[in-house]
A and B are shown apart, each in its own frame.
Chain A
Amino acid sequence: MAKRKPPKPRRPRKKAAPRPVFVPSKLRDQVDTYTDAIYAVLALLNHVRWDDATKKTKTDVNFGIGRRFTTSAKNSFSPNVQITPDIAIQMAPNLGLLAEAKPGVAKSKEFWEANLRQLTKYDDDLDGWWTASGRVESHDVVALIPLSRVTGFVDLVEEKIAKKECQFSRPFAIVSFMKTTSGGKTWFVLQGQQGALGRITDAVLKERLRQNIFIPMQALLTEYKDLKFIDTEPPLAYVLYVIWELLFSNMAAAKRQGESTQVDLDTTVDEVTTKLQEAYGFKSDGPRAVEVPRRAWVRRAMDALVAFGLASRKMSTDRKTELYTVHYRRYRMQDGAVIFFGRLENKNSEKLARLYDRKPLLEIAEGAQPNPSPDRESGKAIQAESTTPSEAAEAPES
């Protein structure tokens, strides 16, 4: 009798990395941080546009919430590349201001060093202003930093300047921001640093920042039509919340017939991007203007819906466009839509990582890198000290 061969030992199964724990409060912080950045940018814009004499905002100030500039060949960090600060304001034909909101909740020094490096790129003879030559005589560079982080950032800048590792040839100012409640109202406050790190050319703006003038949040909300995006990539769950709760609900209501609970919405990334830009961001109105939200963020969100099983995707018959069918219905979202999508993102983190890794070229073509970095050339991501893979992907360049 032939001896039976002993069974082959089973190949050990690859152990999946343990899924990080989902912490709702962390996601809430990230979303809060993002909306803070929006209001910091709007508050600065409002300071520049505010006319004390007429008590109204000036309408003749050129500004772009996100605008493409080209660095000069002499730029020590990134010569001849495109950069997009959070806001560009041209106060006079020869004077401009560029600002970057840094609302990060991260505490690491590397994060702030990366942000400082980014700001130094703006200290250049940039092309892209609203003038015939595209240039202005001078412009200020402003860093908008949360009040809780400003001391650390000031120390870092002073240290770097002292070591000659960083220097600004143009006026540079650190402006801190915070929300506060006083006199029964909620205010947004900008406070300019004094001395070497508070150089603002425009005397009126400088004085307004010195006096810590309070701006009612209600005025910012109504004047700037409840903006939901700036040119910084928000957390994925936030993009999904806006798309699902505000945009798709409207599309589904138009398509729904009778009392049906599910509506299949046929759409494309382009359609969703355009509608979001029209309602909650900006459409490009010139070669230098940026489109917010970016196509790449929307693609990531739509792909996430496919990964979650809330949508399906196929190629169009001419194989040029990806068509999405969103299986829209109302889910029981006890903790709200942001946490609902945050949980789904966490649960499907591996799937999402694989999905995003497959499309690096496409994402670069759409103006964002697959792993969002704080670098301005390619769209930014809110920074946070994180444990989840998606958050880890957003870690700053070191």
Chain B
Amino acid sequence: MSPRHRRRTPLFEQAFGQLLRSASSWAELVGSLDYLHLDDNHVLHCAVLGSTSPVDSLILQKEWRGFKEIRRANDFTAFAYVRTFGKRPQRQMSGEFAVGRWRDSQAYVVVTVATPSQIRDGLAPLLETLYPTAVKPFLSQPELHALIRALQRRVQPDQLRIQEFTAKRRLRASARKQFESVRDWTDVDPESAFTEAKERNVWFSSVRFEVTRRKGADPGRWLGLQGKLSKYGEVTTSSGFDLVAENVLPTLTEITSSRVAVFTNRERTADRDHQIHPLQLTYDRPLLESTAHVRRLADVLRRFPHGTCTVLHGNPYLHVTLVDDVDLSSADIWVLAENNILVVPQLRASHGALKRIVNHIFENFGEGAIGEAKTA
């Protein structure tokens, strides 16, 4: 992403490291991100994590090598890291970031200023290791669309254009592979991009957008801003962090919090008589009406990464046990109706593992609505 700096008050510009050490509160830190001086190829990046425990404490518990707490402010903690990876040649990536809790919710925001490779090879893998206690959310296609639409409304009189997207596309039933990953460059307005995606059976993993001037209109405040929004709760922008903070983060953190709430306390040990607390994934169309569809779901579940899938029954209904080999959570998956999937968490079922199971089903089989299971 080529940076384009639009500083509102260049007199006060400072580096991210200085800001981390001087900001007295999370609000001041986030508010000051706009005043930052960004070096070439550096971007403002934030990732949202859902967790029932404070993420800064979880990070400190990990005792990563090359990792230290820079400072602990009232409502955020700043960290510095050096990550060594690869064998030949061995490489190192270092950076700084801050973690803050979003308005007493179960969502935490990680903010950094870094190059894309620092984010990809440094910060992102470190945050991944927080699984299953802190996990990234996943947005459904309509939720991603709503966020883009909110940004589009806010940047008026300018307009938002989708420049690039990464997506998964469902292939026709007879193909050996069921999905293919797609990366495409384009220049369309968001409505057309999302409509076309629906028609082509495509759902976005991330979209890169740019704020451009509308023909005949005056330039707006965020003209030239480039950003990227991913369905895993990550936002990157070249400038104008206030646009993200005001229009993306509230919704993103709300979705993250609601995901944590819906997946928490589902394990059978949550109450004394070991009651089940099943989830129901409901589809607006009969996605599981035939044996072939049910078999396709069974195949998807067998490919659950870092997990074990035991099929107990395959036809006419589906009954599968999935165990997350990383976290050792387990859940039974039942298909007893043509338009819904039941997820029955077992003795251990962390919210992170349940999120990963549901996300796997949504990404590889079909996106549905998450809710409480009905008794009949």
Listed in ascending order, the chain A residues whose CB lies under 8 Å from chain B are 31-32, 35, 179-181, 184-186, 216-219, 221-223, 225-226, 241, 245-247, 249-250, 252-253, 256, 278-279, 330, 333, 336-338
Listed in ascending order, the chain B residues whose CB lies under 8 Å from chain A are 268-269, 274-276, 278, 286, 289, 308-313, 316-317, 319, 321, 323, 325, 327-330, 332, 334-339, 342, 344, 346-348, 373-376
CB closest chain-B residue, reference A331:
B308
Report the minimum CB–CB distance from A109 to chain B (whole Å): 29
How far is B348's CA from A337's CA once the two chains are assembled, in angstroms?
17
Closest 4 CB pairs of A and B: A336-B310, A184-B338, A253-B328, A250-B347
Residue numbers in A under 8 Å from B311 (CB-CB)? 336
| Contact among A32, A181, A226, A337 with B332 in the assembled complex (CB-CB below 8 Å) | A226
Q: Is the CB of A278 within 8 A of B274?
A: yes
Q: Is the CB of B336 within 8 A of A31?
A: no
Residue numbers in B under 8 Å from A226 (CB-CB)? 276, 332, 344
Residue numbers in A under 8 Å from B337 (CB-CB)? 184-186, 218
Given contacts A181-B317, A184-B289, A223-B375, contact A217 B336 (CB under 8 A): yes
How far is B342's CA from A31's CA once the two chains are assembled, in angstroms?
21
Given contacts A31-B312, A250-B347, A336-B310, contact A219 B317 (CB under 8 A): no
Q: Is the CB of B373 within 8 A of A222?
A: yes
Residue numbers in B under 8 Å from A279 (CB-CB)? 268-269, 274, 347
CB closest chain-B residue, reference A221:
B334
CB closest chain-B residue, reference A180:
B316
| Contact among B309, B310, B344 with A241 in the assembled complex (CB-CB below 8 Å) | B310
Q: Is the CB of B330 within 8 A of A246?
A: yes
Report the minimum CB–CB distance from B293 to chain A (whole Å): 12
| Contact among B316, B328, B375 with A252 in the assembled complex (CB-CB below 8 Å) | B328
CB closest chain-A residue, reference B325:
A330
CB closest chain-B residue, reference A332:
B308
How far is B325's CA from A226's CA once the two chains are assembled, in angstroms?
22
Q: Is the CB of B330 within 8 A of A249?
A: yes
Report the minimum CB–CB distance from A325 to chain B (whole Å): 18
How far is B373's CA from A225's CA once the two chains are assembled, in angstroms?
12
CB closest chain-B residue, reference A184:
B338
Given contacts A181-B317, A226-B344, A336-B311, contact A249 B328 (CB under 8 A): yes
Q: Is the CB of B308 within 8 A of A181?
A: no
How far is B323's CA from A31's CA once the two chains are assembled, in angstroms?
19
A-B contact pairs, 19 of them (CB 8 A): A32-B312, A32-B313, A180-B316, A184-B337, A185-B336, A186-B317, A186-B335, A218-B342, A218-B375, A223-B375, A225-B275, A245-B321, A246-B347, A249-B328, A250-B348, A252-B328, A336-B309, A337-B321, A337-B323
Q: Is the CB of A218 within 8 A of B286?
A: no
Q: Is the CB of B276 within 8 A of A225?
A: yes
Report the minimum CB–CB distance from A306 to chain B (whole Å): 22
CB closest chain-A residue, reference B340:
A218
How far is B353's CA from A250's CA once the two chains are assembled, in angstroms?
13
* Contacts beyond the supplied A32-B313, A333-B308: 16 A-B pairs with Cβ under 8 Å: A184-B286, A184-B289, A184-B337, A217-B317, A217-B336, A222-B373, A223-B375, A226-B344, A241-B321, A245-B323, A250-B269, A253-B329, A278-B274, A330-B323, A336-B308, A336-B321
